Amino acid sequence: MEFEYLVKAESRRVSLEKKGEHWIFRAGDQTLEADVRIISGNAFSLIVGGTSHLVGIADHKDTIYVSLDGTTLTLKRPGAEEKRFEKGEEGSKEGITVVKAPMPGKVVKINVAENDAVRKNQTLAIVEAMKMENEIKSPMDGVIKKIHSSAGDLVDSEKSLIEIEPKT
Amino acid sequence: MEFEYLVKAESRRVSLEKKGEHWIFRAGDQTLEADVRIISGNAFSLIVGGTSHLVGIADHKDTIYVSLDGTTLTLKRPGAEEKRFEKGEEGSKEGITVVKAPMPGKVVKINVAENDAVRKNQTLAIVEAMKMENEIKSPMDGVIKKIHSSAGDLVDSEKSLIEIEPKT
Amino acid sequence: MFKKIVIANRGEIACRIIRACREMGIASVAVYSEADRAGLHVQMADEAVGIGPPPAVESYLHMDRIIEAVRETGAEAVHPGYGFLAENPEFARRLEKEKIVFIGPNSRALELVGDKVRARQTMEKAGIPIIPGMKRVADDFAEYAAEAKAIGYPVMIKASAGGGGKGMRIVCSEEDLRPALEAGRREAKSAFGDESVYLEKFIENPRHVEFQVLADNDGRIVHLFERECSIQRRHQKIIEETPSPALTPELRQRMGEAAKRVLEVSGYNNAGTVEFLLDREKRFFFLEVNARLQVEHPVTELTTGIDLVHRQIRIAAGEKLDLKQEELSQRGHAIECRIYAEDPANGFLPSAGKILFLQEPKGPGVRYDGGIFSGWDVPIYYDPILAKLIVWAETREAACRRMRSALDDTVILGIKTTIPFLKDIISHPRFREGATTTGFIKDHFGDWKEKEASGETEILSLASAAFFDSRKTSEAGVLSVRAKEQYSPWRMLGKWRIGEKSDLSGE
Amino acid sequence: MFKKIVIANRGEIACRIIRACREMGIASVAVYSEADRAGLHVQMADEAVGIGPPPAVESYLHMDRIIEAVRETGAEAVHPGYGFLAENPEFARRLEKEKIVFIGPNSRALELVGDKVRARQTMEKAGIPIIPGMKRVADDFAEYAAEAKAIGYPVMIKASAGGGGKGMRIVCSEEDLRPALEAGRREAKSAFGDESVYLEKFIENPRHVEFQVLADNDGRIVHLFERECSIQRRHQKIIEETPSPALTPELRQRMGEAAKRVLEVSGYNNAGTVEFLLDREKRFFFLEVNARLQVEHPVTELTTGIDLVHRQIRIAAGEKLDLKQEELSQRGHAIECRIYAEDPANGFLPSAGKILFLQEPKGPGVRYDGGIFSGWDVPIYYDPILAKLIVWAETREAACRRMRSALDDTVILGIKTTIPFLKDIISHPRFREGATTTGFIKDHFGDWKEKEASGETEILSLASAAFFDSRKTSEAGVLSVRAKEQYSPWRMLGKWRIGEKSDLSGE
């Protein structure tokens, strides 16, 4: 079986196959043979060349979180959402930029209206989470195309807040 | 929905139904209304009349283990195995008694042979587990009908070791 | 002793207080907002009462609802934890009127120490060293300007009702004074509903050293030594320890006596903390009183052997303090790391969401006070503290090594946390030397980035992900669409995610 | 200091040692039998080496395989934990020859203290009080009979190579002597491969009080006070605590000095424990030396603040002991409960199998040293110890209450454990009074049965089971056959399950 993941936006492919009691993993020009034991649905024990690693692992949608030897990595499966986005961008060369909340929170204020011209780094909205107010700033000079949220809305980090069309 | 459980060999029936945010449980003449939250696959939080209970729960085959307020109870689902046993007993009034290992372990020695007459409390076999030897004694006067294990076998607590026919 | 206590708080501190109740044979009542029905404190308590919608003002800050929960359950006392209503004199006063015991100081003491300007006046009169500066709120700009000149720049603007760094501004010259005053007043107004500010001499790169004090209802007072809390980010403590590497026995004794005197002149009872700044010449100045159980109380417990929550409850129940100053001592060294739901690589943006996997640290000398579990959805409404990791060891060096090991042992997947940041602080050579001042984070971690994972870790992670996905695939009984699609010509395009680079917190 | 250590053990003690290594910057190598590939110690270690099939003689007791693992990984030292090869002089000797450091006493000392008769001779010569009785193994029955008469009945038969109660027999009159001697010799032969036995005066209902001692390689010796381990079942400790409720400061000092003298005359180094019996008149008698880290070492760590495993490793690496007797002190009270995979309601039958759910205790003052996890299949091959629960508190009473609360917090589903039994001991009024002798369990828990669950607990359990099953049912997307079958005319018939009532353990 072969899988593809994004590690910091870089695509990495990894294949695995069972060989007796062990598993062979290949990624790029690297190969490793591991004795793998399932500890729980979220934990594996790997022994690779005598070295023991306890892996904590969990996923949410297309994000996989892996913890190992005191380090946590985030991998992405090249999933449906990014693809849709990509197609959107292909569809219109000077596409819309979607501004999202940087974290789940509550919209305290929307500072702009549709059709407003905005400058780069202008504050577009304020989202509060965990007793901290966070200003959402414009990534570019442009014009507000659409506003999807209003004050009081709860938003998660995947929710589009505002669409901006770049200034041409 | 209604379920049946055995609590210390006694049959108890319990029904449940959802009522708004809560669940109504009925068992015999007792009714309780609980606000139930799933904490994990093995833990629920119950609030019943303002009292909070954290329940740890797990099952293996037809045994359910429930832990609650510092007490652990074992319930049995009236499952297939006991029924088969029951039918067997019905089939032959003076049926065979099956002697099982009291715990998982290793058979160190079988002290009897088929067709041997045995007395109640006579040692039939020795099973070792966790560095302790445990004598398996006869539950009755009888005759050894069949021996299913021999020295060196690993047995679990559901494995039949020896069948005895009662002395008539 | 009380038979039943309401814990007017949530998260790790509520859990810690519930444990104390259980050990003391006291029934505990958790209160919870709608966001916290499944919270750990609700799971652990003997009883639980819903007190309203998620926003704190409608639940944990809602005095009527808390008092109603006390009445409803027949409880005799309220433990407020920290934050929320813990230092609110009005709440204490209302409970006093209702004949419900508030497990904390009396309302007069709360009022006095809550007013920073009044507290400064009181302490100065009592001979406690205070930071040079104003002892009253000025009437107009001219007065502020004159005071600033008299104090000498740089000066610090502080809110009279202050706390948590809100309203604070450093001003280096007269021309910056007016706009800074205006901004400070606005911030103070919005944070505390009170725009009063005053000026103090700005002390450069001090240590933050505080003393834990216990006072019973009859005025017996002992201190339980210091905690050094210099490792701060925007006036928020993130690592605390005791003993302070900076104190000599003689200085410790003097500061401890000063701390006791602070409580004495405040008419204070129950547990409290007296905060001091310690400058480079090892002069100490009274800063403020934290009139509650502190987040960092465990380091004191581990070194003195005194359980502060047990003591709070016993004092509130009217017991005499049977501790004698000369019998108290510090043993070994303790450090606490606060684990927050924040993204340290990204301006410490809050990071609410579901904890997909939690591995809690344990082992000899490791204490973990947590308020979360695998599957818990960290709400957006409250403080981002998830847990506290506290270690004890014979020496500071051993405690640092134990902390590092325990942090490596702590795994929280699904949300961002400060764990990688904490690891780097605890491993920093200057931290190891004990060179801890309030400027430490700014000086050494201003542009912190998480270390790149090693190539080995990365390949092992990829292998683990593949193994994980292969199990999902085989569990589903079919090859996943994903596995089939793997060769589709696909590439990552740049995408704007706002807030990732800019500092949104307004510093 | 060492760079890499092999831990020649498994379960909780291996995990505890691995943690110490990690904190000290030492790489740890776990060894594992085939039954333990997924074991917690393998998960935690930096490296792991398989050493053979499940039976201990083919793995954890197999010296060649352990030494091979050391060679293969380039380790410099071996920590044996307790049990297995920990007190085996031959193993220590082989490592000495191979120039691998054994983290424990030297082989000569091991040999001396391992021979109970020789140890008695040595101690008597050194002026240590020993239990009246034989100082050599007798040649024939006549000599045993004459000795027994001289000592005075009741007498105790003990194995010369003894330990763990194996071969021990109490004899009350001459007519019982011969069969008891024969049985004792058979048992000693089978347990130790050595049938030598000797006779001692039987001391009725003593307390078991032992002293922890540390000795460096140059003969510096300190003791770390006592542990009282009187709560025993068949000579197996189940609850340990410190300080002992029975010792006065004066007696503690005398016993401590005696314990140090024992190590001194044995030419002993590293950590060791000197066991004493304390009779009703508070006379103490040397019993034996446990030449290893003890299961119950944590109670000493919590009260003295000294990490015994760190010290063992540092001493083995040649460090001088920098502890001074007069600077050591006990603070507060610590209690340990051993959690075993045994069914206390059923003759303490071992209970191997899968742990379906584990909830570990935590909180201030609670230490949990475990070797298991949810999903772990407890093997049938080894000691039934699952975990140790240790609490510390300011007073004995507070420690008892904390222990009770922590035991309530500990949930292990799927196998039987001693937890309910431990709860009842810790809550027993005589235990609370400190009236702990080796006869405690026999006197108060001879016919122990688990308390019936309350009606409320039962109905809540039934409701929980129904909710659990309803989720399974709805997850499967269909009503289960079980739910439909619920009204089938069905009743439970008696069924023989052998061993449930009779005591199989041969007491």
Residues 48-67 on D with a CB inside 8 Å of C are none
* Mean pLDDT on D74-88: 96
pLDDT, tens digit only, all 507 positions of chain C: 999 999 999 999 999 999 999 999 999 999 999 999 999 999 999 999 999 999 999 999 999 999 999 999 999 999 999 999 999 999 999 999 999 999 999 999 999 999 999 999 999 999 999 999 998 899 999 999 999 999 999 999 999 887 767 778 899 999 999 999 998 898 888 788 888 999 999 999 999 999 999 999 999 999 999 999 999 998 899 999 999 999 999 999 999 999 999 999 999 999 999 999 999 999 999 999 999 999 999 999 999 999 999 999 999 999 999 999 999 999 999 999 999 999 999 889 999 899 999 999 999 999 999 999 999 999 999 999 999 999 999 999 999 999 999 999 999 999 999 999 999 999 999 999 999 999 999 999 998 999 999 999 999 999 999 999 999 876 654 334 343 333 333 323 333 333 333 333 333
Q: In angstroms, what separates the C-alpha of A77 from chain D's closest C-alpha?
A: 27
One-letter amino acid identity for D118? Answer: R
Residue of C nearest to B40 (CA): C375
Q: Do C102 and C77 contact (CB within 8 A), yes or no?
A: yes
User: Can you give the pLDDT at residue C258?
Assistant: 98
Residue of B nearest to C30 (CA): B52
pLDDT in tens, A128-152: 888 778 888 898 899 999 999 998 8
Cβ separation B40–C38 shorter than 8 A: no
Q: What are phi and psi of C253, to 5 degrees?
A: -65, -45
pLDDT in tens, B52-97: 999 999 999 999 999 999 999 999 999 755 544 443 333 333 578 8
Q: In angstroms, what separates the C-alpha of A68 from chain D's closest C-alpha?
A: 11
A74: β partners? A65
Chain C: touching chains (3 or more CB pairs < 8 Å)? A, B, D
Q: In angstroms, what separates the C-alpha of C202 from chain D's closest C-alpha?
A: 38
Chain B: touching chains (3 or more CB pairs < 8 Å)? C, D
Is residue D194 very low, low, confident or very high in pLDDT (cuts 50, 70, 90)? Answer: confident
Q: Do D292 and D213 contact (CB within 8 A), yes or no?
A: no
Nearest to C232 by CA among C444, C506, C383: C444
Q: What's the token pair of residue C485?
A: 């699609």
User: Which among D22, D34, D43 is the top mutation candidate for probing chain A, defined by the most A β-carbons within 10 Å of its own β-carbon?
Assistant: D43
Sort out which chain D residues have CB atoms less than 8 A from C401's CB and list them.
Answer: 23-25
User: Which among D34, D374, D461 is the top mutation candidate for probing chain B, defined by the most B β-carbons within 10 Å of its own β-carbon?
Assistant: D461
User: Own/partner pairs for D50-58, CB < 8 Å, 24+ apart?
Assistant: D54/D379, D54/D381, D55/D381, D56/D84, D56/D381, D56/D382, D58/D33
Q: What's the token pair of residue C298?
A: 């465990």
Cβ separation A52–D38 shorter than 8 A: no
pLDDT in tens, A21-69: 899 999 989 999 999 999 999 999 999 999 999 999 999 999 999 999 9
Pick the CATH number of A81-166 from 2.60.120.680, 2.40.50.100, 2.30.30.30, 3.40.50.11810: 2.40.50.100
Number of A–C residue contacts, CB under 8 Å: 210
Question: Is the pLDDT assigned to residue A94 strictly greater than 60?
Answer: no
Listed in sequence order, the DSSP H helices in C60-213 are 63-73, 89-97, 107-114, 116-125, 141-151, 177-192
Question: Which of residues A86 and C458 earns the better pLDDT score?
Answer: C458
Cβ separation D46–A40 shorter than 8 A: no
Question: Is the pLDDT assigned to residue B107 strictly greater than 50?
Answer: yes
Cα D486 to its chain centre, rounded Å, is 47
What does pLDDT average to over chain D? Answer: 91
Cβ separation D42–A52 shorter than 8 A: yes
Q: Do D279 and D206 contact (CB within 8 A), yes or no?
A: yes
The reply to whether C233 belongs to the active site is no
D364 vs C301, C362, C408: nearest CB: C301
User: Can you give the pLDDT at residue A134?
Assistant: 82
User: Can you give the pLDDT at residue A52?
Assistant: 98
Cβ separation D48–A52 shorter than 8 A: yes
* Mean pLDDT on B38-42: 95
Catalytic residue among C292, C314, C396, C402: C292
Q: What is the DSSP string of D333-371?
A: EEEEEEEESEETTTTTEE--EE--EEE---STTEEEEE-
For residue C98, give the 3-state DSSP assignment: coil
Cβ separation D307–C360 shorter than 8 A: no
Pick the CATH number of D4-103 from 3.40.50.720, 3.40.50.300, 3.40.50.20, 3.30.9.30: 3.40.50.20
Cα A96 to its chain centre, rounded Å, is 19
pLDDT in tens, B9-28: 899 999 999 998 899 999 98
User: Can you give the pLDDT at residue D82?
Assistant: 96
Going by the DSSP 8-state scheme, the letter that residue D309 receives in this structure is H
Q: What's the token pair of residue A136?
A: 């959402």
Strand order in the sheet with A142-147: A97-100, A160-166, A142-147, A117-118
Q: What are phi and psi of C135, to 5 degrees?
A: -110, 10
Quick check: C323 contacting D, CB < 8 Å? no
User: Can you give the pLDDT at residue A12?
Assistant: 94
* Mean pLDDT on D469-480: 65
Q: Do A22 and A35 contact (CB within 8 A), yes or no?
A: yes
Sort out which chain D residues have CB atoms less than 8 A from C363's CB and list them.
Answer: 16, 19, 369
Catalytic residue among D292, D311, D338, D396: D292
Q: What's the token pair of residue D195?
A: 């049938």
Is residue D178 very low, low, confident or very high in pLDDT (cuts 50, 70, 90)? Answer: very high
Going by the DSSP 8-state scheme, the letter that residue C316 receives in this structure is H
* Length in residues, chain B: 168
Chain D: touching chains (3 or more CB pairs < 8 Å)? A, B, C
Cβ separation A3–C483 shorter than 8 A: yes
CB atoms within 10 A of CB C12: 23
Residues of chain C with pLDDT > 90, as a percent, come to 85
Question: Is the pLDDT assigned to residue D501 strictly greater than 70?
Answer: no
Sort out which chain C residues have CB atoms less than 8 A from A32's CB and list them.
Answer: 459-460, 463
C364 vs D19, D393, D398: nearest CB: D19
D363 vs C19, C25, C405: nearest CB: C19
Cβ separation D479–B46 shorter than 8 A: no
Q: In angstroms, what separates the C-alpha of C370 from chain D's closest C-alpha?
A: 9
**What percent of the residues of chain C are helix, what percent strand, and what percent coil, each to the nearest 5?**
40, 25, 40
Quick check: C371 contacting D, CB < 8 Å? no
- The domain locations on chain A are 2-76, 81-166
ipTM of the complex, rounded to two decimals? 0.90
For residue D139, give the 3-state DSSP assignment: coil
Sort out which chain A residues have CB atoms less than 8 A from C343's CB and list them.
Answer: 103
Sort out which chain C residues have CB atoms less than 8 A from D362's CB and list them.
Answer: 360, 362, 368, 370
Within 8 A by CB and 6+ apart from D22, the residues are C405, C408, D28, D46
Q: In angstroms, what separates the C-alpha of C496 from chain A's closest C-alpha?
A: 7
Cα D289 to its chain centre, rounded Å, is 14
Q: In angstroms, what separates the C-alpha of D337 from chain A's closest C-alpha?
A: 27
Please give the CATH topology (third level) of the domain spanning C132-201.
Dna Ligase; domain 1 (3.30.1490)
Q: In angstroms, what separates the C-alpha of D294 from chain B's closest C-alpha?
A: 19
Cβ separation B1–D411 shorter than 8 A: no
What is the C-alpha to C-alpha distance for residues A167 and C111, in angstroms, rounded to an integer? 55
A104 vs C352, C413, C468: nearest CB: C352
Cβ separation B50–C48 shorter than 8 A: yes
Q: In angstroms, what separates the C-alpha of B46 from chain C's closest C-alpha?
A: 8
Chain A residues within 8 Å of chain D (Cβ atoms): 35, 37-40, 45, 47, 50-52, 54
Sort out which chain A residues have CB atoms less than 8 A from C351's CB and list them.
Answer: 103
Sort out which chain A residues have CB atoms less than 8 A from D73's CB and list them.
Answer: 50
Buried b (16+ CB within 10 A) or exposed e, B71-86: bbbebbbbeeebeeeb
B118: enclosing H helix or E strand: strand B117-118
In CATH, what is the architecture of D207-455? 2-Layer Sandwich (3.30)
Residue of C nearest to D361 (CA): C362
C396: enclosing H helix or E strand: helix C396-409
Sort out which chain D residues have CB atoms less than 8 A from B40's CB and list them.
Answer: none
What is the C-alpha to C-alpha distance for residues C386 and A130, in angstroms, rounded to an integer? 11
A2 vs C374, C483, C491: nearest CB: C483
What is the C-alpha to C-alpha distance for residues C473 and C464, in angstroms, rounded to an integer? 14
Q: Do A56 and A50 contact (CB within 8 A), yes or no?
A: no
Nearest to D158 by CA among D173, D144, D139, D146: D144
Question: Is the pLDDT assigned to residue B51 strictly greater than 90?
Answer: yes
Question: Which of residues A149 and D269 earns the better pLDDT score?
Answer: D269
In CATH, what is the architecture of A2-76? Beta Barrel (2.40)
- C-alpha triplet D216, D222, D227: angle, nearest 5°: 120
D350 vs B10, B59, B103: nearest CB: B103
Do β-strands C385-393 and C366-370 pair in parallel, antiparallel, or remain unpaired? antiparallel
Question: Which of residues C400 and D474 earns the better pLDDT score?
Answer: C400
User: Can you give the pLDDT at residue C476?
Assistant: 54
Q: Do A13 and C475 contact (CB within 8 A), yes or no?
A: no
What is the C-alpha to C-alpha distance for residues D132 and D200, in angstroms, rounded to an integer? 6
What is the C-alpha to C-alpha distance for residues A160 and D24, in angstroms, rounded to an integer? 49
Do β-strands B97-100 and B160-166 pair in parallel, antiparallel, or remain unpaired? antiparallel
Cβ separation C375–B37 shorter than 8 A: no
- The domain locations on chain D are 4-103, 132-201, 207-455
